[in-house]
Amino acid sequence: MASKYYKAYQFVKPFAETGAKKVSDWMKKAATAKKEAAKFNLEQTLKKTDKSLEKLKKTVKKQKKILED
């Protein structure tokens, strides 16, 4: 006769594919997500900076044109 613990073991099946992960795996995913977020934020900042620099360049060209006339 099998013990009740053995039957419970059969139902639980340790290390089964339940989606459980090691702490190191979660930490690696979190670090990757942080890196991707920082990359995205940097790209957005650079886009804003490029737009501002284009505006500044146009303004400087206008000022030079006014001063030359």
Q: Give the predicted TM-score (pTM) of the model.
A: 0.55
Query: pLDDT value at position 11?
Result: 60
Residue 22 confidence (pLDDT): 81
Domain span holding position 35 = 21-68
**CA angle at residue 39 from 34 to 43, to 5 degrees?**
150
Q: How far is CA 59 from CA 3, 50, 52, 62, in A?
A: 85, 14, 11, 5
Alpha carbon distance, N-terminus to C-terminus of the chain: 105
Q: Is residue 29 part of a domain?
A: yes
Residue 60 in any domain: the answer is: yes
Residue 37: inside a domain:
yes
Q: Per-block average pLDDT, block size 10, for the chain (69 residues)?
A: 61 57 85 95 96 95 87
Q: What is the gyration radius of the CA atoms in the chain, in angstroms?
A: 30
* pLDDT computed for residue 59 by the predictor: 94
Q: What is the pLDDT, as a whole number, of residue 68?
A: 84
Instruction: Quote the CA–CA distance of 11 and 13 in Å, as a whole number.
Output: 6
